[in-house]
Amino acid sequence: MKNAAKARSDVVSTAARSGLPPEQPTARKMPGPAKPLNVLAPQVEAERQRIRSRFDTGATARETLRGLCELADNTIRLIFGDVMKIHETPNEGLALLALGGYGRRMLFPFSDLDILFLFENEKTEEEFRPFISEFSRTMWDLGFRVSSAGRTIDECKRIEEDNAEFHLALLDRRFLSGDQELFDKLDNRVLPPSEKQSRSFLFSQLHRLTKERLARYGNTIFHLEPNVKEAPGGLRDYQAAFWLRQILGDRPDLRGSTAADEEMAADAVEFQSSIRCLLHYGNARNDNTLTYEMQEEAAKRSLAVRDGIERNAAEWMRLYFRHARTLN
């Protein structure tokens, strides 16, 4: 059964990625009030550019990520409804969920949309297969990088020991569209006891993945050109700490942080998120390495610095290391 779940996940992911054609998007007539792609695509792109322009003129990373997330959410709901109309299919038995960073509403400019197609059972999964391909292809045509998986509700509660990353990403689940009752069943009745029972496994896997990741970067925050996502002190450290609290719950030994600690962590996340936005926009891809060139650019912009003091790149990097130390 575990292999069957993985096989179906591969089918879903392949369907999603097959929607990245080299040619330009083509207009696709949709019934009812829906807009054809040659109308919708420019509107989506205009909103992307508006969000970028606001970031370039001083909007915070939090505002930028929220704007990108809302754009993705609204587009998904629109396309979901349109494709369901095309296939003349009610949405009972299928829910769309955001996972991982997208589930936490931390969607960076060139990050993937981590989406779970949640099915009531294998029968509904087979019925919705044409929908998955059409939906994913349309999202790709609109410029969204879709990374998807498919699971029945029973498969979600069974822990796949060789796929810990999926179960960790599922901790950040968020309803997007489709069958709300199906999501509520998963969120309120199916997963809580399963996650509680597998707490030890999730903790050990999170510890293993974090230890391996930090070792790849020499277990130090001090890099000449740091990776602001994966390196020690990067955003992945914040994500790991967030997951740790979700896994272990409100334990007394985890209540040591003060209001000042929380504020420092929030400032550090904003700082690192601002850098990652700058890197994505500057490189036009999901590139998270803070090169010397981008350090100069960040210092010139006084990126994520609110004191109004001009700094050279070396001085600005001292701020980076201070925030990295907070998250690490």
In order along its 328 residues, the chain shows pLDDT tens digits of 444 454 444 434 433 433 333 333 333 333 334 567 888 999 999 999 999 999 999 999 999 999 999 999 999 999 998 888 776 777 789 999 999 999 999 999 999 999 999 999 999 999 888 888 889 999 999 999 999 999 999 999 898 888 999 999 999 999 999 999 999 999 999 999 999 999 999 999 999 999 999 999 999 999 999 999 999 999 999 999 999 999 998 655 555 567 778 899 999 999 999 999 999 999 999 999 999 999 999 999 999 998 878 899 999 999 999 999 999 9
Query: What are the structural domains of the chain?
Result: 2-197 (1.10.357.170), 201-327 (1.20.120.330)
pLDDT tens-digit series, residues 108-132: 999 999 999 999 999 999 988 888 8
Give me the torsion for CA of 118, 119, 120, 124, rounded to 10°: 160
**Closest alpha carbon to 77 in 183, 212, 175, 172:** 175
pLDDT at 78: 94
pLDDT at 26: 33
Pairwise CA distance, residues 129 & 119, whole Å = 11
Length of the chain: 328
Could you write out the three-class secondary structure of 144-178? CCEEEEEEEHHHHHCCCCCCHHHHHHHCCCEEEEE
- The values of phi and psi at residue 244, to 5°, are -60, -45
Q: What is Dmax (Cα atoms) for the chain?
A: 62
Q: Which helix (H) or strand (E) holds 113?
A: strand 113-119
Pairwise CA distance, residues 224 & 226, whole Å = 6
Q: What token pair was written down for 311?
A: 């700094």
Of all residues in the chain, what percent are helix, strand and coil, respectively (each to 5)? 60, 10, 30
Q: How many CB atoms lie within 10 A of CB 300?
A: 13
Q: Which residues of 225-238 are buried (b: 16+ CB within 10 A; e: fewer)?
A: ebbbbbbbbbbbbb
DSSP three-state, residue 94:
strand
**Closest alpha carbon to 318 in 210, 180, 221, 244:** 221
pLDDT tens-digit series, residues 249-264: 865 555 556 777 889 9
pLDDT at 129: 85
- Output the pTM of the full model: 0.86
Q: How many CB atoms lie within 10 A of CB 111?
A: 21
- The values of phi and psi at residue 260, to 5°, are -65, -40
